[in-house]
Chain A
Amino acid sequence: MSYFFQIIVSGIVVGSIYALAALGLVLVYKSSRVANFAHGQIIAGGAFITFFLTVRLGIPIFFSFLASMLITFFLAMSVERIFLRRLIGEPIISVIMVTIGLASIFDGLIYLTPFGSENFSFPTFLPTESIVVGGVSISWTQLVGVIITFVLIGGFSWFFKKSTVGISMRAVSDDQFGAMSVGISVPRVFGLAWATAGLSAAAAGCIIGNITGLNFETLHAFGIVVFPVVILGGLDSILGAVVAGIIMGLIQQFASGYLDGNFGLNGTGDVMPYIILLIILLFKPHGLFGIHEIERV
C-alpha cells in the first residue's frame, strides 16, 4: 500500500513543479494571448542566475533565489518592452515567431557563458535525509519545492483576484478595447505579465535545477515539456495549470509504476499523459478550465 501512496506523493511533487513551470506560460497567454516559446530559456536563466549569485558571489542561496526572481522579473519586462511592445496589434503569429526568435537569441547568449555547456549543481543547503512517513518518503528538496510552488501559485491567485493590477490584467485578458476604454494601460499590463512570468520561471528553474542538477539542455526543455499541462488546464487558467500539472504528474508516476515493465510495456510514463490529454481534449477542447469564447456575429 505504501507503494501506492509513494506514487501519489511523487505524482503531486512532479505535478506541482510542472504547474509552477507552466505558470509563466499561462500568465503571458492570459494577458496577451501569446504562447511564449522562450519560456524554457527564462527557466534556465533564472536557475543559472541563482547559481552564479550563490557560488560565484557567495550570496546565501535564499537571497540569491529571491534576487534571481527579481532579476528575471526586470529582464522579462525589458524583453517585452524592447521586442514585443511594438507588436501590439499585429497578428498573434508574428508575436509567436518573435518568441521563437528570442529563444534562439537566449540560447546563443547562454552558450557564450560556461552555463551553456557545463554541468553544475547547487550547493547542498537542505538536509540530505528524506522525510519518511508510513513508508512514504519525500526529500527536503522536493518538499521545499512543493511549498514554494504552492506559496507562489497562491500568491498569484490572490494577486489576480484581489489586487488592482491583477484585476487590470484580467480585464485586458478579457477585452483589450474594453480595458483601454476604462483607462487601463494595456502595454503596461503586457509588461507586467511578462515580468511576473519571468519571476515564476526563475522560481521553477531553481526548483528543477535543484532536483536534476544544472544542465542547460535539461532545464530549457521544461519550457516545452509543460506545454501539455497548459493545454490540458486551459491556456489562460492558473487553477487549470495547477490541476493539470498534478494530473499529469500523477498519470506519469502511475503509468511508470504500474504499466512500465509489465505487459511488455515501457516508457508509458512519458506517453500516457499525452494520450490522456488527447482524450480529454476530445471532450473539452479548451482544456479543463479554459474559457470557451463564443463570438456572436
Chain B
Amino acid sequence: MKNKATTFFNVFLVIVFVFAFALPAYAGKTYKLGMSLAITGPTSDAGNPYAKGAEDWFKFVNETDYLGDGDKIDCPIRDDQYKNDVTKRFFEEFLDDGILIFLSYATGGNLALKRDFEEVQIPVIPASYHEGLIVDANYTFMPVATYSENAVGLAEYITENHKGDNIPQVAFFIHPSAFGRGPLEDTQKAIAEGMKIEIVEVVEHGTDLDNTAMLQRLVSKGVQYVICQTVQTPVATMLTDAQRLGVTAATFGETGKLTFLGAHYTGGSDLIALAGTATEGYIWADSYNLTSENNEGAKKQLELAERYGRDEKAANSHNYGAGILAAQIATEAIKMAKDAGMEVNRENLYKMMQKMNFNSFVAAGPVTYSETERIGVDVQNIYIAQDGIFKKIQSFESQYIQKVRAGR
C-alpha cells in the first residue's frame, strides 16, 4: 500500500515537472526591448503620449498574439526626464538585460550615445528626427522624415506656392540648440544648391513673453515666411503676438504679413491647445497621419487608444501615433526575423530592418529601409490649421534634401 502511494506520488511529481517546464516553452518566447524617454520633465508633453503609444502597441501585440506562437515582447519604459546621463545609465542597464532593440528619445541623448550604438551594434529607433543622428551611423533607424526634411521641404513648398516675382523672403525661428540649428544649416545648403529662397534673418528664441519687437523687425525687413524649428510653446507665444499685432497673413504669402510654417514638434493638437485661434493658417510639415483626417488609419489609432483607456487628448496626439510607429518598427523587425526562420537576435534584426517595407496606420507613407537608407517614412504631409484642427493640404517628398544630405 505504501509502495503504491509512493509510486503515485512519484508519477504525480513527474507530471508536475513536465508541465512546469513544458508550459513556458508552449507559451512562446519573450523578446526584450528597452525604451528610455522623457515621461516627465522638459519635452514631456511630447514624451508622455509617445510612451503611451508604444506601451499600447506592445500590449496589443502581446494580447492578440501578433507575433504568433505565443511569442511576446517585453519592453520596459523608463523615464529619463530628458537627462542624457540618465538615458545612458538606462541604456547600459538595458544592455545588461540583453535587449534586442533600443527605443530612444531626445536629440542630445542620441548624439551622446551614437558611438555606443555603433560599438555594441544594436538597432536604435529614436523619437528625435535630427539629421545628425544618421550621419556616419548605421544602427539608428529614423522612423520618419527628419527635421531637416521638414524644413527644406517647407522651403520647397514656399518656392512652389509663392506668388510674386520676388525671391521669397524667409526668416527662421529656431531652438537655440543642435535640434534647432541642424535644419537651418541644411536649408542653407539647399539654397547653395539653387533653391530660390532668401534667408533674411535667423532668430534663436529664449523664454519670451512678448515677441513684438522681433515680429515688427521681420515685417520691416520684408520677411514673408517664418519657418519654425523648435517646440510648441515659443511658437504659440509668437503666433499669439502676431495675431495681436495683425501681422499674420490671411492668405499664403500675403505681402506685408507673415506666413508661419513649422516642422514636426512645432505643430499638432498641442499647438492649438496653447495658441487657440492664433494657430489658424499655420502650415505644418509632418509624416504622421492625424486623427483629424478621420480616415481608416485615424480610426485604428483611436480604437487602440480606446482599447487601453487613453483620454481624448492622448488618443488624438500625433506623438501618441509616433510612439505607436516606433513600437511597430521594432515589432515588424522581430516578425520578419521569425518569418524568415532566423534566430531573433540583434544581428538578424539589424539585417531585417534593412529590408523592412510595411504600411503603418499612423504614418503618412510606407516605412521602408535599405542597406543605405535609414529613414522609414519619406513622405511628409503638409497640414494647415483651420477651424481648430490641422487639415491635410498635400503629401510630398523633399527633392533638395537628397542633394544636401551629408554622410550618406
Where the two chains meet, the residues of A that have a C-beta atom closer than 8 Å to any C-beta of B are 3, 6-7, 9-10, 13-14, 17-18, 107-108, 111, 114, 116-121, 124, 128, 130, 137, 139, 142, 208, 211-215, 217-218, 221-222, 225, 253-254, 256-257, 260-261, 266-267, 269-270
User: Which residues of B (174-215) have their CB < 8 Å from a CB of A?
Assistant: 176, 201-204, 206-210, 212-214
**Within 8 Å of chain A (Cβ to Cβ): is B13?**
no
CB distance from A229 to the nearest CB of B (A): 12
Checking A111, A137, A256 against B245 with a beta-carbon cut-off of 8 angstroms, the contacting residue is: A137
| CB atoms of A215 and B212 under 8 A apart | no
**A214 vs B48: C-alpha distance when bound (angstroms):** 16
Task: For residue B258, give the distance in angstroms from its CB to the closest CB of chain A.
Answer: 14
Q: Are A221 and B245 in contact (CB under 8 A)?
A: no
In the assembled complex, which residues on chain A have CB atoms less than 8 Å from the CB atom of B28?
Answer: none
Majority secondary structure, A binding face = helix
Decide yes or no: A121 and B273 within 8 Å by CB, A211-B240, A256-B213, A269-B206 being known contacts. yes
User: Are A261 and B217 interface neighbours, CB within 8 A?
Assistant: yes
**CB atoms of A215 and B210 under 8 A apart:** no
Q: How far is the CA of A116 from the CA of B39 in the complex (A)?
A: 9
* CB–CB A117/B45 < 8 A: yes
Q: In the complex the two chains form, is B202's CB within 8 Å of A218's CB? A: no
A116 in contact with B244 given A212-B233, A213-B236 (CB within 8 Å):
no
Q: Which residues of A contact B311 (CB under 8 A)?
A: 114
The number of chain B residues touching the other chain, given as a range, is 35 or more
Determine the distance from Cα of A124 to Cα of B244 in the docked complex, in whole angstroms: 14
Task: Tell me the nearest residue of chain B to A269, going by C-beta.
Answer: B206
State the CA gap A7–B207 with chains docked (Å): 17
Take A6-B216, A208-B209, A257-B216 as given contacts and tell me if A121 and B47 are in contact as well, using a CB distance cutoff of 8 Å.
no
Known contacts A117-B47, A256-B214, A261-B217; decide if A17 and B209 are in contact (CB<8 Å): yes
Contacts of B202 in A (CB 8 A): 266
Check B213 against A267 for contact (C-beta < 8 Å). Answer: no
Residues of B that sit less than 8 Å from A by CB: 39-45, 47-48, 176, 201-204, 206-210, 212-214, 216-218, 220-221, 232-233, 236-237, 240, 243-246, 270, 273-277, 311, 313
Question: Contacts A111-B40, A269-B206 known; A119 to B244 CB distance under 8 Å?
Answer: no
Is the beta-carbon distance between A14 and B210 smaller than 8 angstroms? yes
Q: Would you call B39 and A117 a contact (CB within 8 A)? A: yes
Residues of B within 8 A of A215 (CB): 45, 232-233, 274
Minimal beta-carbon separation of A103 from chain B (angstroms):
13
Q: What are 28 residue pairs bridging A and B, where the CB atoms are less than 8 Å apart in the complex?
A: A6-B212, A13-B209, A14-B210, A111-B41, A116-B44, A117-B47, A118-B45, A118-B273, A119-B270, A119-B274, A120-B274, A121-B236, A121-B274, A130-B244, A139-B240, A142-B210, A208-B209, A212-B236, A212-B274, A213-B273, A215-B45, A215-B274, A217-B41, A217-B233, A256-B217, A257-B213, A257-B214, A261-B201
Give the residue of B40, B203, B209 whose beta carbon is less than 8 angstroms from that of A117: B40
The answer to whether A119 and B209 have CB atoms under 8 Å apart is no
With A139-B244, A260-B203 known to touch, is A10 a contact of B233 (CB < 8 Å)?
Answer: no
Among the listed B204, B237, B245, which residue makes an inter-chain contact with A213, where contact means beta carbons less than 8 Å apart?
B237
Pairwise interchain contact A119-B232, C-beta atoms closer than 8 A: yes
The reply to whether A260 and B217 contact each other, CB–CB distance below 8 Å, is: yes
Please measure, in the bound complex, the distance between the C-alpha atom of A3 and the C-alpha atom of B213, giving whole angstroms: 8
Complex A-B, nearest 6 residue pairs according to Cβ-Cβ distance, in ascending order: A213-B274, A257-B213, A270-B206, A117-B44, A117-B48, A111-B40
Given contacts A121-B274, A257-B216, A261-B221, contact A269 B245 (CB under 8 A): no
Distance in angstroms from A209 CB to nearest chain B CB is 10
How far, in angstroms, from A213 to B301 measured CA to CA in the complex?
Answer: 27
